[in-house]
Amino acid sequence: MRVAYFGSAAFSVESLRACHAEHEVVVVVTAPARAGSRGRPAQRPVAREAERLGLSVFSPERLSVPGATDEVLSWRPDVLVVAAYGGLLPTGLLDRVPLGGINVHASLLPRWRGASPVAAAILAGDAVTGITIMQMAKGLDTGGIIKQEQLPIVPDATTPVLTGQLAILGARALSLVLRQAAPGQILLSTPQDEQQATYAPRLTRVDAQLDWAQASAEEVDRRLRALNPWPGVQAPVAGVPVKLIAGRVDDTYGGVEDGVDPRQPGAVVRVEQEAVLLACATGLFRLERVLPPGRKEMSAAAFLRGVRI
């Protein structure tokens, strides 16, 4: 089967490999290179993989620019496969391909439609997530569900690790769906329950800001696992805004540091070896590593000693 593949982020590399292994990938459509180190252009992960596989790459600024749709159609694809592409496909393109568009989405739709489903699942404390293979339609992740596979979210799951696991799961599910498809055939799908829909918008730098008074220790832990490496988590420690790198919920209790009331959110409750225990809206968070502004990463205790000096 002739596949036009749409992807940009690392999540979509596994699905590209799966398509290439069993089908003819006629073109890979990916977002243009973005600024890398020292301002030099950096290829998207899918573009690098496509070149390694010897596949043709098309990188329009947007699919809505004149000629972009015609360029894709000139490759005569039987199906459009999309995984973490970063943009919507025009309905004028979907309607002119025999099998339309199939999307590999990193959540159990209709939960967590949108750009950041993995981080959203961790932030919400979900016990399970998964992959949805869906028939693309007008709208954001609104099409019918063709296939779903579940994946438990372990207590220490991080966005990068969970994304990698879902990428492999998604590639396997996509392979099964494409094996059952044929040009001119209608793929069976189940409509989504709109009343159960939730949304995971694209993360921004604003999401990095943490207010100790507005988050429990469990919520701080989820944010640290969900938002690193980007946009990260920033919060004041001893009055200085720092990036939180590593830590965990602390369920012990001991004496306070310098008589500070441990119920005051953001207060340093005590120091234990190279970790600092901080009060949250409820509970204590054991902060282990921080990145102060303009300095190298260090232990939280070392940072606190420097502030006091």
Domain residue extents for the chain: 2-200, 205-308
Q: What gap in Å lies between CA 219 and CA 210, rounded to an integer?
A: 10
Q: Which of 148, 104, 135, 123 is nearest to 198 (CA)?
A: 123
Q: How far apart are CA 77 and CA 99, in angstroms?
A: 9
Q: Mean pLDDT for each consecutive 10-residue tract of the chain (309 residues)?
A: 97 98 98 71 90 97 94 97 95 93 98 98 98 94 97 97 98 96 82 97 97 96 96 96 97 61 84 95 96 96 87
Query: What's 205-308's CATH class?
Result: alpha beta
Confidence at residue 51, expressed as pLDDT on a 0 to 100 scale: 96
Query: Per CATH, is 2-200 categorized as 3.40.50.170?
Result: yes
- Per-residue pLDDT, 262: 60
The reported pLDDT for the residue numbered 187 is 84
CA triple 276-281-284, angle to 5 deg: 30
67 sits in the region (left: phi over 0; alpha: psi -120 to 50; else beta) called left
- pLDDT, residue 309, reads 57
Strands 199-200 and 113-114: parallel
